[in-house]
Amino acid sequence: MSTYLYRFILYPLLFILAHIYALFNKKIRKALRKRYSVLGEARQIRKRSSARPVLIHTASMGEFEHVKPLIKTLKKRYNRPVIITFFSPSGFEFINNHEDVDGFLYLPFDFTQTVKKFYSILEPQMVIIAKHDVWINQVLVARKMNIPVYLINASLGATSSRTGWLARRILKPAYESLTGIYAISKDDAQTFKQYFNRAEVKAIGDTKFDQVLIRKEQALKKQLLPPGWERDAFVIVLGSIWKEDSAKILNPLKKLMKKYPKIKTIAVPHDPSKEFVSMLSKELNDIGVRLYSEVQKDFTERILLVDRIGILADLYKYAHLAFVGGSFKQGIHNVMEAAVYGIPVLYGPTHQNASEAVRLCKTGGGFVFNTAEEFENYVERFLLNEAERKVAGQKTQQFALDNINATEKLIKEWMGTVNLIPGSK
């Protein structure tokens, strides 16, 4: 009954509302327009290889970043064509190419016949969904066509909107039909079993941990700032910050920077729009701000304001202490990108959306604060007590290392079911 409700009422209604909203939003309008041509683009991509591809769906750029180790393994070791689909424009528009990806597409509209045509064109050997962006027909049509569908890096907190009565009724047929669910932790695996009546959900881990370690190794070879800017300084990186985050941390940060000339800050907005960058620049101007886009040689300003995307994970290498944003808005961003460098990580109360943020706090490497005063106390504490900072940093780094190798565990799971043979087609 819930499948019919979704197919004939809920999704058509969502489809209409999206088109109405697109009249007032250029980004949404562009994304919808691209979805109308997705079948034609799929045909062109399919012609590039005779081998059946692995189709990986990532909602946005963050999820794509996390599955890069899996993509690389499928491509290099098993010679599989890999095709990526995105739901969000933030993924599709900012990633034009990747050496291990054979094609990028928007996820097609989730109408039964559209999805069926999409799969018929691409003939995927398997469909992999990263994290949580499960669509009903995306799964049910694939299973009817005998295409295995796996949910990886899967998380489901007890307070997730997907555990609500209506959401469970709608999503249950899809989750029950998934060939396999691979959760990021035992707690998440148990929650899936409880709410979606799955007899087996395996706790494999999160490929995010594999990727942050790879990204760290790459970042250590890069020179992103003029040599010497960070020398003898105590560098704080504010990662993926929103307006709501800045309202909590900017005033105490300025107070501390005036008190301690040793402090330097790299501020990285989640969305470096002209309006937000301008607001931050004005707010911090009394300390001295330099935009990243204007850095060509040595500079003396103590605050670097990053007005581009894609380099935050690399910039954490300069940090002695990090704050991860989103934790005073809708949900925290990636704490592991900072933790892998062995530094204390601060964040706000809205972090239950990320299991690793909850667990990092329990290990003694993550620190949650609610007020500006608490933020100020944490920063001053780690600035003045190097021994305590190093102990906390060791805990964060060990936490990251203890959770790697999810990619290899997934490959081992699939060896017998999808006939992955090194070098085969």
Which residues are known to be catalytic? 63
336: helix, strand or coil: helix
Least Cα distance to 121 among 85, 160, 174 occurs for 85
Kindly list the distances between the CA atom of residue 339 and the CA atoms of 35, 319, 398, 399, in Å, as whole numbers in the listed order.
37, 10, 9, 8
Q: How many other CB atoms are there within 10 angstroms of residue 48's CB atom?
A: 12
H/E segment holding residue 266: strand 263-269
Q: Report CA Rg, the chain.
A: 23
Beta-strand runs (E) in 9-144: 54-58, 82-86, 103-106, 126-130
Report the C-alpha gap between 92 and 85 in whole angstroms.
Answer: 8
Supply φ then ψ for residue 318, to 5 degrees: -85, -10
Q: DSSP letters along 181-225, please?
A: EEESSHHHHHHHHHHH--S--EE---HHHHHHHHHHHHHTT---S
CA distance 167 to 163: 7
User: Among positive and negative, which fits the CA dihedral 358, 270, 405, 86?
Assistant: positive
> Residue 310, by phi and psi: left (phi above 0), alpha (psi -120 to 50) or beta?
left
Buried b (16+ CB within 10 A) or exposed e, 55-81: bbbbbbbbbbbbbbbbbbbbbeebebb
Q: Dihedral through CA 71, CA 74, CA 77, CA 80, nearest 10?
A: -120
Q: Which residue has the tokens 């909850």?
A: 358
- DSSP, collapsed to helix, strand or coil, labels residue 237 as strand
Angle between helices 68-76 and 406-414 (to 10 degrees): 50
17 HSE (CA, 13 A, CB side): 6
Give the list of residues 6+ apart from residue 100 with CB closer than 8 angstroms, or none: 68, 71, 72, 74, 75, 76, 82
For residue 130, give the 3-state DSSP assignment: strand
